[in-house]
């Protein structure tokens, strides 16, 4: 049964049946056995199911059932919709209309997507998908650190020398040093940054700084490290490398991505299958005469004259 559900041919049969039912319900171009198309018919049948659907939609909107007069208005409006649709189709107003083409394409693709969305992946499906798309689910490297800032505008040419002296003092003071006694103030920066992904560190300090910090071994003051602000001396308190989470940790996310990928694959398969029924001819523009050739022809005509 699972193999049958995954069979693409079954999907296309379901799509075709869905389209037939949709067009039949909407009064579209579904053909009736031995008779004209619905669009060509002069008979409009408003079924009991359609009336119940109109009443239910009204009730959802207004939180009450429609009155007899309101229901009659809904039916009349539906009939007018049907008449205008059939007459417009008969006049060919649906042809060469980009908006209508897009709407019809959207309906076709939505039917196909609904089939994909109804499919339930197994745990093995999700595990395989996770392994095949590791880059999409890989967690960034993370780091937590303390930092001391050295302002290049304030220290000028001696900033490198100051950094070396300050680094020696910090290493002597250890990881719990009172950072108020070191470096230069910078109101927009915190002395202590909690465990954060490399992208967040890069947003605050710059990409080059973030790449350097996540490579620093924890447990000792290091630096100087350059950022967009200036120089920093850094003590990494915790570091986590990039990792691929277990399926159980991100199952909902993996399932959403799996469904999205299935929808995309089924759209591609549908268009490939339907495309086999058509011959596509792309007209090429007529070859243009090059400037050099045109000049030569002009010269030749002049000599003949």
Asked, for residue 79, whether it belongs to a domain, the answer is no
Final residue belonging to a domain, choices 217, 240, 263? 240
Report yes or no on 304 lying in a domain.
Answer: no
pLDDT digits (tens, 9 = 90+) for 107-165: 888 887 777 777 788 999 999 999 999 999 999 999 999 999 999 988 888 899 999 99
Average pLDDT (181-191) is 81
Q: Categorize the per-residue pLDDT at 93 as very low, low, confident or very high, splitting at 50, 70 and 90.
A: confident
- For residues 208 and 169, state if they share a domain: yes
Range of the domain at 270: 1-21+98-136+249-279
Query: What is the arithmetic mean of pLDDT over 270-290?
Result: 78
Residue 118 maps to a domain: yes
Same domain, 129 and 154: no
Q: Are residues 229 and 175 in the same domain?
A: yes
In a domain, 47, yes or no: no
In a domain, 74, yes or no: no
Q: Are residues 261 and 145 in the same domain?
A: no
Looking at the structure, tell me whether residues 197 and 259 fall in a common domain: no
Task: Clarify whether residues 234 and 169 are in a common domain.
Answer: yes
Q: Are residues 156 and 206 in the same domain?
A: yes
Phi–psi pair at 159, nearest 5 degrees = -65, -35
Question: Total domain count for the chain?
Answer: 2
146 or 185, which is more confident: 146
- Over 90: is that where the pLDDT of 184 sits? no
Is pLDDT above 90 for 271?
no
Is residue 125 located within the same domain as residue 265? yes
Report if residue 155 sits inside a domain. yes
Domain contains 174: yes
Does a structural domain hold residue 227?
Answer: yes
Co-location of 5 and 102 in the same domain: yes
Report the alpha-carbon distance of residue 174 to residue 109 in Å, rounded. Answer: 63
Residues 269 and 132 placed together within one structural domain of the fold: yes
Burial of 98 per CB tally in 10 Å (0-12, 13-18, 19+): exposed
Residue 303: per-residue pLDDT: 44
- 152 and 258 within one domain: no
Which of 279, 170, 186 is CA-nearest to residue 224? 170
In this predicted structure, what is the pLDDT of residue 235? 93
pLDDT bracket for residue 31 (50, 70, 90): very low
CATH of the domain at 158: 3.10.50.40
Which H or E run contains 148? Answer: strand 142-150
């Amino acid at each position: 049964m699972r193999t049958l559900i995954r069979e693409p041919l079954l999907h296309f049969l379901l799509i075709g049946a869905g389209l037939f039912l949709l067009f039949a319900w909407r009064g579209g171009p579904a053909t009736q056995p031995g008779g004209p198309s619905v669009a060509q018919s002069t008979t409009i049948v408003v079924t009991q199911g359609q009336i119940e659907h109109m009443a239910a939609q009204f009730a959802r909107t207004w939180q009450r059932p429609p009155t007899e007069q309101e229901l009659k208005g809904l039916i009349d409006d539906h009939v007018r919709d049907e008449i205008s649709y059939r007459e417009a189709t008969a006049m060919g107003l649906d042809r060469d209309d980009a908006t209508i083409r897009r709407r019809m394409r959207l309906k076709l693709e939505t039917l196909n997507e609904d089939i994909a969305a109804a499919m339930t992946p197994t745990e093995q499906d999700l595990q395989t998908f996770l392994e095949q798309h590791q880059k999409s689910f890989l967690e960034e490297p993370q780091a937590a650190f303390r930092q001391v800032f050295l302002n290049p505008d304030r220290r000028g040419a001696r900033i490198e020398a100051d950094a070396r002296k300050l680094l020696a003092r910090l290493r002597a003071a250890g990881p719990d040093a009172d950072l108020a006694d070191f470096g230069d103030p910078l109101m927009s920066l915190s002395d202590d940054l909690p465990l954060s992904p490399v992208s967040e560190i890069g947003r605050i300090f710059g990409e080059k700084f973030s790449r350097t910090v996540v490579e620093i071994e924890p447990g000792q003051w290091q630096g100087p490290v350059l950022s967009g602000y200036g120089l920093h001396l850094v003590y990494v308190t915790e570091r986590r490398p990039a990792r691929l989470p277990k399926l159980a940790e991100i199952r909902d996310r993996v399932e959403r991505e799996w469904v999205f990928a299935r929808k995309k694959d089924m759209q591609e398969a549908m268009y490939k299958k339907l495309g086999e029924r058509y011959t596509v001819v792309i007209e090429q523009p007529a070859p243009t005469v090059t400037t050099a050739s045109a000049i030569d022809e002009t010269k030749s005509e002049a000599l003949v004259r």
